[in-house]
Amino acid sequence: MGLQLPPLSLYIHVPWCVRKCPYCDFNSHAVRDDIPEQQYIEALLQDLRSEQHLAQGREIQSIFIGGGTPSLFAADSYKQLLQEINTIIPISRSAEITLEANPGTFEQEKFKGYREAGINRLSIGIQSFSNHQLQALGRIHSNVEAVNAASLARDIFDNINLDLMHGLPGQDLEGALFDLKQAIALRPDHLSWYQLTIEPNTEFNAKPPSLPVDETLWDIQEQGQSLLAEKGFEQYEISAYARDNKRSKHNLNYWTFGDYLGIGAGAHGKITLPESNAIIRRWKQKQPKGYLCWNTRLSGEEPIARDELAFEFMLNALRLSSGVPAELFVERTGLEPKQIFNKLEIARQQGLLVDDTHLISPTQQGQLFLNDLLALFLD
């Protein structure tokens, strides 16, 4: 069986933010002058038109607008953007369309406009409900603004996600569970609850804060997961928890090795080309000025090497608690099952994969020792 076309998603990157957070390693740039909002919208649409052929007849199944701080843009800009995207590559009627937002008071006023523009899922970057921690993380909102933003979003959107960190500077178990309980009380449909990590090329990497010891981090993870399960949140991925089956369709497409176009400064994409028997990665000009001014916004592209495909697939699929059907590996990579048969058997013998030949799914031990499991698929 050769490569099959998977579902198609669209990622849109908005690179500006009010202030760069010290832990952030995303392509984000603090606003120094007026944002060229309309010029950027036009650039995004030109970018998409240049990639229209890569859709290969598919509709867009999900859209994620990330950043940066996408909620710096007006609702009318997104209304125009989504309408014109639909004329270039049709958006599925059932598409999940997510916008990342920060909880500042000014941005809250835009929430209703975003919903009317066609955005049906809001992801709010809370990170913590402690003013002390928010200050340490370089966030510009307060705990009151965080609660107000989430409450307002709950009234306007049928599907909201809250981003929340744990393992913060000087944080203890009580502080981490306080944040989690506050988030749960706001009744989100989805929680992204993940541990703060120190990334290269960040302010925290240059001046590392004092983080909790491993024993505390373990207690936070263990008790936090128990609390979330008790409150009806299903952990379906390493750091993703959903109620009422409100899993993120966009992220699920990433984790099941689906295709996605990436438009915007520094955006990345992955596209399957069945006729060429190839899967390619593409990325765009990283600097906003370069992205706006250059006629060619594509910065580079390269095929994923055949001997790296198994690892690339597992790097995504093994994040899912329930795993994926074994046949998906063949459909999404074009590789034969025999090419990973021995590795799968070793992983099952080591208790890292569920003992089921029809399923590629990590055991609880496999989730805890995910790096060891992934290492088996490295050539």
Among 205, 224, 252, identify where a domain stops: 252
For residue 179, being part of any structural domain is answered with: yes
Across the range 254-263, mean pLDDT stands at 98
Give the tens place of pLDDT for each residue, 110-130.
Answer: 899 999 999 999 999 999 999
Give the Å distances, CA to CA, from 278 to 1, 19, 125, 131. 14, 40, 36, 49
For residue 128, being part of any structural domain is answered with: yes
Contact status, residue 279 vs residue 308, Cβ threshold 8 Å: no
pLDDT at position 29 is 87
Give the tens place of pLDDT for each residue, 173-224.
Answer: 999 999 999 999 999 999 999 999 999 989 999 999 999 999 999 999 999 9
List CB contacts of 322: < 8 A, sequence separation 6 or more. Answer: 236, 361
pTM: predicted TM-score of the whole model, two decimal places: 0.96
Among 226, 252, 278, identify where a domain stops: 252
Lowest mean pLDDT among 8-17, 56-65, 98-107, 315-324: 98-107
Residue 234 sits in a domain of what CATH number?
Answer: 3.20.20.70
* DSSP character at residue 287: S
For residue 32, being part of any structural domain is answered with: yes
81 and 195 both lie in a single domain = yes
Residue 373 sits in a domain of what CATH number?
Answer: 1.10.10
Give the tens place of pLDDT for each residue, 76-114.
Answer: 999 999 999 999 999 999 999 999 999 975 667 789 999
247 and 331 both lie in a single domain = no
- Total domains in the chain come to 2
| Among the listed residues 15, 6, 26, the one whose alpha carbon sits nearest the alpha carbon of residue 263 | 15
Burial class (CB in 10 A: 0-12, 13-18, 19+), 35: middle
For residue 276, being part of any structural domain is answered with: no
For residue 87, being part of any structural domain is answered with: yes
For residue 275, being part of any structural domain is answered with: no
Contact status, residue 92 vs residue 122, Cβ threshold 8 Å: no
- Find the domain containing 375 and state its range: 321-379
Among 225, 252, 279, identify where a domain stops: 252
